[in-house]
Amino acid sequence: MNWMWSFDETVSITLDTCRTMLDLMDQYPDYTFAQSQASVYEIVARHDMALLERIRNRVQEGRWEVTASTWVEADRTLPNAESMVRHLLYTRRYLAGLLEIDPESLDLDFEPDTFGHHQNVPEILSDAGVRYYYHCRGSKNLGLTRWQAPSGRSVLVFQEPLWYNWDIDGRCALMVPTFCRPLGLTSALRVYGVGDHGGGPTRRDLERIRTMDRWPIFPHYRFGTFHDFFR
């Protein structure tokens, strides 16, 4: 959230990214966007209430997906259970009020960059109402698994088979042999856009998706949400 740059720069990046995503939604009626981390929404609330209202409207419309179960994208190995539980509790309480949404809808934990995953994470997440878990680093599996804690509690996990924040290009079709075929699935999830310093999907990404969807003998592409995929 605030990695090797100042907090003022973090605020600027956050606001610019949110404005850009909303402007793209105005220009592309089927475009959807997902944003994690309650801290992002707090920055918007403190610095630009008009921008927050635009986000609320898109959330209600179903095109801005809130993937924030924690205050920041957290580590999943070092924090103790109390810290994890309070992240989940305070985030749900805060965002339900701020965005005027059902707290039960905050059932996805988006943690792409944690370098490990403690075996009791599914129990803590499940007890907090989280059903779905997205990550990139860590264990290597076929991509979609049911992760079960020693207690028996579990969450449905998508582990990025390739990488996240990819460009949109022909390599996206690699999801067919690496993910769909081994699991016998007909659809896959592709997380794309500029990361590490804000940005998100670009107009070029969206135009490429439209173009690639018209290619013969190539996977069909559509904008969607994490919940569309998991459900």
pLDDT digits (tens, 9 = 90+) for 164-175: 777 888 888 888
Nearest to 137 by CA among 161, 154, 156: 161
How far apart, in whole angstroms, are the C-alpha atoms of residue 38 and residue 127?
19
Burial readout 18-29 (b: 16 or more C-beta within 10 A, e: otherwise): bebbbebbeebe
State the amino acid at position 219 in one-letter form: P
Write the CB contacts of 103 (distance below 8 Å, at least 6 apart in sequence): 92, 93, 95, 96, 129
Please provide the CATH number assigned to the domain covering 7-230. Answer: 3.20.110.10
Q: Where are the domains of the chain?
A: 7-230
Q: Residue 174 has what DSSP assignment?
A: G
Between 182 and 156, residue with greater pLDDT: 156
Residue 173 burial (CB count, 10 A) = 15
Dig out the tokens for 17 from the structure: 């990214």
How far apart, in whole angstroms, are the C-alpha atoms of residue 222 and residue 212?
10
pTM of this prediction?
0.92
Tell me the mean pLDDT in the region 88-107. 96
Residues found in the chain: 231
Band of the pLDDT at 78, cuts 50, 70, 90?
Answer: confident
Q: Collapsing DSSP states into helix, strand and coil, what is residue 158?
A: strand
DSSP-assigned beta bridge partners for residue 64: 33
Query: Is residue 31's pLDDT more than 90?
Result: yes
